[in-house]
């Protein structure tokens, strides 16, 4: 018989702050963390705003700052969120942990060199006509100026490596790169590791930023980003008839997962139980979701089957809800296909309307809101939803949070390339 898996700790770093309670209060108050981009000069870009993490220093969290000198942004976010989750779970006060059975599973993405810094300092700026730099000059500067550590820290497995050092995690260590579905997949796969008995405790989640010149350029070329530069705080508007793309965010979300037996043995407080996980691929197009949402349908049905629940049992859906035309209407169709007559009765919302799209970290942060919804009986809203799209006709908890009893919650994440992942958690006393 497989082990039951529970969540005992949570932590995040977000554009609204970097502690659980204050950020949760802001989400429930419909506050928005989107504003003009300051990480680089975006004044000539089609999109000049984003949801940036501010006033954050990972050294305020870690116990071994000397081990993490020169870390990349992704890693710094991961460290801050993971230390919060570790303390939330009470593992900082537990001396009997078997570190050989402590593992890590992260969803992450590529790091980025500080392009604008080197361009401005060494190459005299961008060619504003062609938006490029001279490749030969760039290579020459890179060889002279970039340290080996700086290069290594851009690798997507670096957050995992630094977490392993911080927590002496000698057990299973995995990293997945499934774009916007990455941290949801990481949590699901970490759950499977615990169920089959290969670890007692897993640190799982994701960390990412793409708020840099290359990231914004790429998404602008894909026409995926909102260009509502005149009013950034209303730019992220999932399910709205006037939506024009998503808003880039950044940050991290980390959870401590344990077998129920291990959590009970050490007297841990259980926040929620992970009961369902589903994963699928669209096998359609790299940048487009299948119009029928077949992959989303499959991942939701897998998760519900694994959890042993039906549509009427789900009390809340945390939507992928990016704010692009295709995603929101397709996710709506997929929910209708899975939930049938219960689709309109099940509240669904997208916190991307307030913190933007954290890409590889999005799913973990959104699952944490499901944990808090179960704990507090409150649903975060989808803000900026004044003009609903006729194709998006479900209950998206528009504009204001809502009181609701939540025993079972479902969280969706769909990634570029057609990856789809769904998690279901439930109240621990059920």
pLDDT at 288: 77
| Mean pLDDT of the 245-261 span | 98
Q: How far apart are CA 81 and CA 167, in angstroms?
A: 13
Give the mean pLDDT of 230-258.
98
Is 281 exposed, middle or buried (CB count within 10 Å of its CB: 0-12, 13-18, 19+)?
middle
The conformation of residue 180, written as its DSSP 8-state character, comes to: G
Cβ contacts of 153 within 8 Å, gap of 6 or more:
70, 71, 72, 75, 111
Number of H helices, E strands in the chain: 13, 14
Percent of the chain exceeding pLDDT 90 equals: 81
pLDDT at residue 208 in the model = 96
User: Residue 287: its pLDDT value, please?
Assistant: 75
Arithmetic mean of pLDDT over the chain: 91
SS3 label, residue 419: strand
Q: Which of 18, 39, 262, 357 is catalytic?
A: 357
Q: Which of the residue ranges 68-72, 296-300, 405-409 would you say has the lowest mean pLDDT?
A: 68-72
* Segment 354-375 mean pLDDT: 98
The pLDDT of residue 131 is: 41
Q: What does the domain layout of the chain look like in residue ranges? A: 5-112+154-426
pLDDT in tens, 338-364: 999 999 999 999 999 999 999 999 999
Say whether 32 sits in a helix, a strand or coil. Answer: coil
Asked whether residue 291 carries a pLDDT value surpassing 90, the answer given is no
Active-site residue, 150 included = no
pLDDT at 280 over 90: yes
Measure the CA–CA gap between 271 and 273, rounded to whole angstroms: 7
60 neighbors 73 (Cβ within 8 angstroms): no
DSSP lists the bridge partners of residue 104 as: 173, 203
Of 18, 208, 290, 320, the active-site residue reads 320
pLDDT digits (tens, 9 = 90+) for 309-333: 999 999 999 999 999 999 999 999 9
Does the pLDDT of residue 136 top 70, yes or no?
no
Encoded tokens for 71: 């870390």
Task: Label residue 404 by pLDDT band (50, 70, 90).
Answer: very high
pLDDT value at position 290? 84
SS3 372: helix
- Does 68 qualify as catalytic in the annotation? no
Alpha-carbon distances of 106 from 179, 203, 417, rounded to whole Å: 12, 8, 19
Tens-digit pLDDT profile for residues 114-124: 444 444 444 44
Cβ pair 338, 297 in contact under 8 A: yes
Quickly list DSSP for 216-232: HHHHHHTT-B---TT-G
Determine the average pLDDT of the residues in 216-221. Answer: 93
Residue 416 confidence (pLDDT): 83
Rounded-to-integer distance, Cα 178 and Cα 272, Å:
25
Domain 5-112+154-426, CATH 3.30.390.50 — does that match?
A: no
- Please report which confidence band the pLDDT of residue 147 belongs to, taking 50, 70 and 90 as the band edges: low
**Higher confidence at residue 415 or residue 430?**
415
Residue for token pair 């579905």: 181
CA distances from 288 to 34, 185, 291, 362 (A): 25, 19, 8, 19
Spatial contact of 267 and 8, defined as CB atoms under 8 Å apart:
no
Q: Give the model's confidence band at 255: pLDDT under 50 very low, under 70 low, under 90 confident, else very high.
A: very high
Given the residues 32, 176, 180, 370, select the one marked as catalytic. 180
What is the secondary structure of 58-119 as a DSSP string?
GGGT-S-GGGGTT--HHHHHHHHHHHHHHHHTTGGG-TT--GGGEEEEEEE------HHHHI
Q: Which of 328, 306, 308, 326 is nearest to 412 (CA)?
A: 328
Who wins on pLDDT, 415 or 288?
Answer: 415
- Taking a C-beta distance cutoff of 8 angstroms, is the pair 103, 198 a contact? yes
pLDDT in tens, 166-212: 999 999 999 999 999 999 999 999 999 999 999 999 999 999 999 99
For 139-142, the CB contacts below 8 A with 24+ separation are 142/113, 142/118
**What average pLDDT does this structure show over 403-417?**
95
Active site residue 180: yes
18-44 pLDDT, tens per residue? 999 999 999 999 999 999 999 989 999
For the CA atoms of 74, 78, 81, 86, what is the dihedral angle to 10 degrees?
A: -170
% of the chain with per-residue pLDDT over 70: 90
Q: Is the pLDDT of residue 145 over 80?
A: no
pLDDT band at 127 (very low <50, low <70, confident <90, very high): very low
């Amino acid at each position: 018989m497989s082990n039951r898996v529970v969540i005992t700790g949570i932590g995040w770093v977000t554009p609204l702050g970097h502690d659980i309670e204050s950020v949760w209060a802001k989400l429930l108050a419909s506050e928005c963390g989107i504003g003009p981009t300051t990480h680089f000069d975006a004044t000539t870009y089609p999109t000049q705003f984003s949801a940036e993490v501010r006033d954050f220093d990972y050294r305020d969290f870690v116990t071994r700052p000397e081990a993490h000198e020169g870390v990349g942004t992704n890693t710094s976010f991961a460290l801050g969120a993971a230390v919060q989750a570790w303390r939330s779970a009470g593992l900082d006060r537990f001396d009997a942990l078997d570190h050989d059975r402590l593992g890590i599973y992260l969803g992450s993405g590529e790091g980025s060199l500080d392009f604008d810094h080197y361009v401005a300092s060494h190459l005299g700026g961008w060619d504003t006509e062609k938006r490029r730099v001279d490749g030969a000059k760039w290579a020459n500067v890179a060889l002279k100026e970039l340290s080996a550590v700086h290069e290594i820290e851009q690798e997507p497995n670096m957050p995992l490596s630094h977490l392993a050092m911080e927590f002496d995690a000698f057990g299973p260590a995995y990293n997945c790169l499934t774009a916007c579905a990455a941290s949801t997949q990481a949590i699901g796969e970490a759950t499977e590791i615990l169920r089959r008995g290969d670890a007692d405790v897993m640190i799982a989640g994701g960390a990412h930023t793409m708020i840099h010149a290359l990231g914004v350029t790429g998404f602008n070329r894909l026409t995926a980003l909102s260009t509502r530069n005149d009013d950034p705080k209303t730019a992220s508007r999932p399910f709205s008839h006037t939506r024009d793309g998503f808003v880039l965010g950044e940050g991290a979300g980390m959870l401590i997962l344990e077998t129920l037996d291990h959590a009970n043995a050490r007297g841990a407080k259980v926040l929620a139980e992970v009961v369902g996980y589903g994963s699928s691929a669209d096998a359609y197009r790299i940048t487009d979701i299948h119009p029928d949402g077949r992959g989303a349908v499959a991942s939701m049905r897998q998760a519900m089957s694994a959890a042993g629940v039906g549509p009427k049992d789900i009390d809340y859906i945390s939507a992928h809800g990016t704010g692009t035309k295709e995603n929101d209407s397709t996710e709506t169709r997929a929910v209708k296909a899975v939930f049938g007559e219960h689709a309109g009765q099940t509240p669904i919302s997208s916190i991307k309307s307030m913190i933007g799209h954290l890409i590889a970290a999005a799913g973990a942060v959104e699952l944490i809101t499901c944990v808090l919804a179960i704990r507090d009986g409150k649903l975060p809203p989808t803000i900026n939803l004044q003009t609903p799209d006729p194709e998006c006709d479900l209950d998206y908890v528009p504009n204001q949070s809502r009181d609701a009893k939540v025993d079972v919650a479902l969280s969706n994440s769909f990634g570029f390339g057609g990856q789809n992942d769904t998690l279901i958690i439930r109240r621990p006393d059920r």
